[in-house]
Amino acid sequence: MRLYADKPMHFSKPHTASYYAATRNEIAAFPVLGDEVRCDVCVVGAGFTGIATALTLAERGYNVTVLEQNKVGWGASGRNGGQMLGGIPGEARLDKVWGNTHADFLFELGYCGHDIIARRVHQYGIDCDLRYGAIDVALRSRQVEQQKRMHEALCARGMENQSRLVSADDLRELLGTDKYLGGLINMRNGHLHPLNLCLGEARAAAGLGVSIYEGSEVTGIEHGDSVRVRTRHGAVRADNVVLAGNAYQHLEPSVLTGLVFPAGSYIVATEPLSPEEVAQINPQSLAVCDMNEVPDYFRLSAENRLLFGGRCNYSGREPRDIEKVMLPRLREIYPQLAHKRVDYAWGGKIGIVVNRVPLMGRIGTNVFYALGYSGHGVSLSHAFGEVLADAVTGTSGGIDVFAGVPHRKIPFGQELGSQIVALGMLYFRLRDLL
């Protein structure tokens, strides 16, 4: 078998120059696929969705191959805000379609990724700075009202000991800013180093026999009782295929084009803060996310850098100077940190679905897909990995709940579609401002 292990850089892009890439745990590079191999399940994409699905299937005894065009964790999974958040985007739409029919399943699903992550971190010894505690913060009075309803809903689900409303006065103490009108703490949520989680899970999957190939872009899929997945230098024949390329993939265009749009989101990481600064701005090291439709989100890293992200431009275009775009907003919230140096600035693509409900379904009988977590994929991708593994192994109840949600395709293809979504997001930003 030709593996091209000696020249992977010819085929793949390196990790983006992020704080995460600079502090990643080393794992051995995976080879490039250079031949035709056979397996039970072929997974396309080595972000959280792909690796979590592969690991679940391997834990169940399946023979799995993962094909990644660049590096494990190269996409959104290795670049995101690291906020492990519960719930499912597009809840209102899911309610409209299903009423109460699947309410319990959906609530459990919205948090089960947290449990999967915690179990894997423990079981496989993954060093990814997992910490618990997160807070939603309100910028408008209607968001304070919304937080009260969210809190009631969490209490009704037995989370009264894990969630708490916080007044604006208390927030000044807790977050060292008077920018917010109220907060909702959720101690079941948390934050982590996403690239190290993804790499650790890949290492665990490889340890269970999963074959992972990097620098191996999938260029085509030939459907049939067994599916043939082509890469530039090899192929995989599999009984089932899982597409997990999220905002970066272009496969199966007749089904998936126009459903998910690659929206840019950007993060800056400051130099480490002093203990005094930490005590002033976030002594409990909470993950913070505002409640705007286009939110700002921030948290401290393990060595107390402030990781501040947000402002999706929804146009897919990367700003020339990310630091210049992000710093004014960081300083609006924390003027006391205006002197802090920015050590890293980077961006990535979020897969946004128009009605926000993540996409999961099947093409034919044996090609499955999951994508479009609309910025909530750290935990949810792990939950979806479980549902995808169920579907592959013959239990389709979970996938059918999502496959049954109608989605509207943006007309005129991906390019013009992105501009239409940009207009839609302008509408959401105007709503945020009202």
Ligand X SMILES: Cc1cc2nc3c(=O)[nH]c(=O)nc-3n(C[C@H](O)[C@H](O)[C@H](O)COP(=O)(O)OP(=O)(O)OC[C@H]3O[C@@H](n4cnc5c(N)ncnc54)[C@H](O)[C@@H]3O)c2cc1C
Q: Which stretches of the chain bind ligand X, using CB under 6 A? A: 44-50, 67-70, 74-77, 79-83, 85, 217-218, 244-249, 251, 265, 267, 297, 309, 347-350, 371, 373, 375-378, 381
Which one, 33 or 337, has the nearer CB to ligand X? Answer: 33
Beta carbon nearer to ligand X, 101 or 132: 132
Taking alpha carbons only, the member of 173, 184, 172, 220 closest to residue 44 is 220
Other CB atoms within 10 A of residue 379 CB: 28
Minimum distance from residue 100 beta carbon to ligand X (Å)? 26
The candidate with the shortest Cα–Cα distance to 243, out of 252, 235, 234, 254, is 252
> CB of residue 228 vs ligand X: minimum separation in angstroms?
14
**Which residues 6+ apart lie within 8 Å of 37 measured at CB?**
1, 65, 211, 234, 235, 236, 237
| Closer by beta carbon to ligand X, 154 or else 218 | 218
Q: Which is nearer to ligand X, 180 or 308 (CB)?
A: 308
The least distance separating ligand X from the CB of residue 319, rounded to whole angstroms, comes to 13
Shortest CB 388 distance to ligand X, Å: 11
Q: Give the residue among 365, 267, 325, 348 at the shortest CA–CA distance from 47.
A: 348
At its nearest, how many Å lie between ligand X and the CB of residue 34? Answer: 15
The residue type at 117: I
Residue 16 C-beta: closest distance to ligand X, Å: 10
Closest approach, Cβ 229 to ligand X, in A, equals 9
Could you tell me the CA-to-CA distances from 299 to 303, 305, 308, 334 in Å, in that order? Answer: 11, 8, 7, 13
Cβ nearer to ligand X, comparing 168 with 187? 187
What are the residue ranges of helices labelled H in 131-180? 141-156, 168-175
Residue 402 CB, shortest distance to ligand X, in Å, is: 14
Q: How far is 278 from 347, CA to CA, in rounded Å?
A: 25
Rg of the chain taking only CA atoms, in angstroms: 21
Angle, helices 103-123/91-98, rounded to nearest 10 degrees: 130
Rounded to whole angstroms, the Cα distance separating 151 from 136 reads 11
* Collapsed DSSP state (helix, strand, coil) of residue 223: coil
274 burial via Cβ count (<10 Å: 0-12, 13-18, 19+): exposed
- Position of minimal CB gap to ligand X: 377
